[in-house]
């Protein structure tokens, strides 16, 4: 069985697999300090005590070994400030993602970035087809994370029991599908010679420039306009099958320096060779500006949902 990495280094933070009972003190303190924050939406909080935390960590080890649940601590400077996990769904090839933060770690986009990193890691697994996030319609913070990352509403269904204290009784199910391109699998035993001699299809070049979304289709992702310009310059003389662009890149940063690079290349008679540019921004005015600018220079552009 192929499993995700034990540690996913994200620069300013990391996702780290819980290390059994050696993590008891950190996990217990994290939950203890977050009880008031979690109680409205997490029914398991009513059972919180030392025994419950030790049992949780023991189950984390068992679940990881079986592939049933992959649970990570969200850590800053080595200190856990939240948790996230991917639970095997009822339908084959799917997992449901859960996440929460210590109240002191909220309000700065950490949950979104952590779930984005978890989603990227899950889509490296060969059996993954889709991810889902399930939230109460009244839990606006959880809903915002899902929307920012491109999870689209699939259906609404009765919420699982027991209900959380603030629960409405309804669960919103949002889904993010795996990219269309197949994942290369290692050859089966005994097939090495045959595979070695077989022609290999080229890997599509799919570039994404987005500050938050996981963009599972992308082979490379830039999170700022500066990184985006550098990423395109690296592919100046090659062919880009798909280029995914978001307008708002956090703070005052936007995609416009990247758009300017594409425009100037076309103006000088050497446009970038791109199959399709997908604009998936949630900013309709900014997205329309990008579409109009690139269409003017004869790039093939589509509006899309990441």
Residue 162 preceded by cis peptide, ω within 30: yes
- Which of 177, 209, 231 is the last residue before a domain boundary? 177
What does the chain come to in residues?
306
For 103-119, write each residue's pLDDT tens digit.
Answer: 999 988 899 999 989 99
Give the structural domain span for 262: 201-303
185 located within any domain: no
In this prediction, residue 193 carries a pLDDT of 36
Considering the domain architecture, whether residues 170 and 205 belong to the same structural domain is answered as no
Distance CA 234, CA 196 (A): 30
- Which of 145, 177, 209 is the last residue before a domain boundary? 177
Pairing of strands 79-88, 69-76: antiparallel
189 located within any domain: no
For 46-66, write each residue's pLDDT tens digit.
Answer: 999 999 999 999 999 999 999
Considering the domain architecture, whether residues 62 and 155 belong to the same structural domain is answered as yes
The number of domains in the chain is: 2
Report the share of the chain in percent with pLDDT over 70: 91
In this prediction, residue 305 carries a pLDDT of 61
For 113-166, write each residue's pLDDT tens digit.
Answer: 999 899 989 988 888 889 999 999 999 999 999 988 888 899 999 999 999 999
233 located within any domain: yes
Distance CA 116, CA 108 (A): 14
CATH code of residue 266? 3.40.50.2300
- Assess contact for 76 and 108: CB atoms under 8 A: no
pLDDT higher than 90, residue 226: yes
Work out the pLDDT band at 294, boundaries 50, 70, 90: very high
In this prediction, residue 203 carries a pLDDT of 73
Q: Which of 96, 85, 112 is nearest to 12 (CA)?
A: 112
CATH code of residue 133? 3.40.630.30
* 214 against 81, higher pLDDT: 81
Mean pLDDT of the chain: 87
Intra-chain end-to-end CA distance of the chain, in Å = 29
Considering the domain architecture, whether residues 17 and 130 belong to the same structural domain is answered as yes
């Amino acid at each position: 069985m192929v499993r995700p990495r034990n540690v996913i280094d994200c620069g300013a933070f990391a996702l780290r697999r819980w290390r059994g009972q050696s993590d008891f003190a950190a996990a217990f303190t994290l939950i203890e300090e977050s009880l008031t924050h979690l109680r409205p939406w997490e029914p398991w909080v009513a059972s919180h005590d030392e025994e419950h935390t030790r049992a949780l960590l023991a189950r984390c080890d068992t679940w990881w070994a079986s592939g049933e649940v992959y649970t990570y601590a969200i850590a800053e400077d080595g200190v856990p400030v939240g948790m996230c996990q991917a639970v095997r769904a009822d339908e084959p090839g799917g997992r449901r993602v859960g996440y929460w933060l210590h109240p002191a770690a909220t309000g700065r986009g950490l949950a979104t970035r952590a779930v984005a990193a978890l989603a990227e890691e899950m889509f490296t697994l060969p059996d993954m087809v889709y991810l889902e996030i399930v939230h109460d319609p009244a839990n606006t913070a959880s809903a915002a994370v899902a929307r920012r990352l491109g999870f689209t509403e699939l259906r609404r269904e009765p919420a699982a029991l027991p209900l959380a204290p603030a629960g409405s009784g309804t669960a919103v199910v949002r889904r993010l599908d795996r990219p269309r391109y197949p994942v290369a699998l290692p050859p089966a035993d005994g097939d090495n010679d045959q595979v070695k001699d077989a022609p290999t299809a080229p890997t599509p070049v799919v570039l994404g420039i987005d500050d938050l979304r996981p963009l599972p289709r992308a082979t490379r992702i830039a999170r700022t306009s500066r990184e985006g310009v550098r990423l395109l310059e690296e592919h100046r003389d090659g062919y880009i099958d798909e280029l995914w662009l978001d307008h708002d890149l956090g703070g005052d940063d936007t995609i416009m320096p990247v758009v300017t690079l594409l425009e100037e290349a076309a103006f000088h008679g050497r446009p970038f060779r791109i199959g399709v540019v997908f604009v998936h921004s949630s900013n309709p005015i900014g997205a329309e500006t990008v579409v109009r600018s690139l269409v003017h220079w004869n790039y093939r552009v589509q509006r899309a949902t990441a």
